[in-house]
Structures are given as structure tokens and as C-alpha cells.
Amino acid sequence: MRANIDCVSSRYETIGVQPVAPALGAEISGVDISKTLDDKTVAEIRAALLQHLVVFFRGQSLTPETLLAFARRFGEIAPYPFVKGMDAHPDVVEVVKREDEILNFGGIWHSDTTYLERQPMGSVLYAVEIPPLGGDTLFANMYMAYEALSDGMKVLIDGLEGVNSAHKADAAVGRIQRVSERPTGEDQFTTQAVHPIVRTHPETGRKSLYVNRGHTVKVDGFTEEESQPILEYLYTHQTRPEFSCRFRWTPGAVAFWDNRAAQHNAVNDYHGYRRVMRRVTLAGERPK
């Protein structure tokens, strides 16, 4: 098991890269992502993403158009199954928690939409309005989580598949309000999918642990009761503090994460305050 601390800014020519934690996460400086980026800058941002799994930008000023333009430099845009995007920009989804709401969107450890046949490559999240305190986001490194397992556990889970569902209660309850306001009509999507518990990253070739508390309901071929001890162990293991980082949002901050090897959790500790984010999702591939 190794941490991602060997990447330093001197390796980059167009951007600055400063790790935020030993496990994952880096802040990128020296770039205005609202502008048209040249190919070298895009390549360096992608390299930093692959190294650190989530990269952060501070002090950005993005319209929905420039947010989309930045995301498109890294891949094809994918729709979110349950909540309609903005009226003039359907590929941009507003993630909102209002002052009078208790539940938040994404307030559980998860990888995005693992209940789809093709998972997102990643997501870009932009802070429009944040609470004065709280509302941080946690991220965890699933390479490290897999690599830290015992040899016996690796033998047990390699080759097994997990059944993932959009309707697992703990995750589904957090989007109820937004779905009721801006439903897409989920019938157009398959909302249950079976994927490897250990997946291989298509770009790095590294193995990562690919179950999550938000969406994985059981091991394929096992009953839910039989699956529970294995999954509960993995859920607890994969979010150990030494595998994680915490990002404190500031106005105009952006997080861009690799959904194939990182999980995240939106901390729900700011009741009574409003939080508004804008998210764009990038299409990926079926896990292998």
C-alpha cells in the first residue's frame, strides 16, 4: 500500500499541483478553468487526476456554459438518471440543500450511479453557494483500500460481483426532494446492475475496491443475509481515515474526481443553511 505523495508541482509546466493528504487529493493552481485550455494543460490536469484521484481548483468563476466546456475537455457528458438539469443547460444538475431541509443529496459514502451498466468516469462539482461553516466533502482512495486487504480476503472477493441498486434506502432518501421537484422519469434507465467487487482501472491498470454503502445491496449469487458480513466489513474498511481526505469548500471552488477509483461523502452538518452546487457528469465504461 502506498500513498500518492510523490507528485510535486515541479513535474508540471502549466499548472501547480499540491497534495492535500497522503492518500489522495491535490489542489491545482495557476489555471483559470473558465478559459479555453490548451491541450498540454488539459493533459497535465488529467495526469494529476489519475495520480491523486480528486483534484481541486479554488476561486473559479464559472457559468453553466464554461463549466460544461471545461468538463467536455475530459470526455463525453452523461445524464444523471433521476434529477433534471437546469432548464437552459440540461447537462448541468443543481445539487441543493435548503435552509429548512434536514436530508442532503449524496450524504453517504458512495461511487456515483453504480446501479447503471456504464458508470461515470468522473464528475465536476462547482460551489455556487456554501454555508458559513460545514458542508465539507470526504473522499477515499479505493486503490489503497484494495491493496490493504489481507491476501485471504483478496482471494475471497476477486472474481465476485456486487449487485447495485438505485433504490437502496440510505442513498435514495437523500434525493427524494430534488426528484419530486425535477423528475426525469427513471423508466428510461436501468437502475440495477451487477459489477465486479474488484475492478481494474481502464487507464492505470490498477485494481480498486468497487462496492459502496450507498448502492451495493448484495454479492451476486449470495443472499442478502449471506452478503452482509462481507459487505459490512468492506464498507468499514474502505473509508478508514488513512485512505481519505477532506475538502473544505470555498466560494468558486471546484472538485473533479475519478469515480472509478474514489468514493465520496457529502458531510451533512450544516442544518439551517443553504448550499447550492452545480454538477456535470462524465460518461465512462462498464467496469471490468
Residues identified as active-site: 110, 112, 264, 279
Residue 102 three-state SS: coil
CB 263 within 8 A of CB 102: no
287 Rama sector, left if φ>0, alpha if ψ -120 to 50, beta otherwise: beta
- Bridge partners of residue 93, in order along the sequence: 279
Residue burial 136-153, b: 16+ Cβ < 10 Å; e: rest: ebbbbbbbbbbbbbeeee
CA dist 288 and 210 (Å) reads 10
Q: Which residues contact 143 (CB under 8 A, 6 or more apart)?
A: 53, 201, 206, 207, 208, 261
255 C-beta neighbours (distance < 10 Å), count = 22
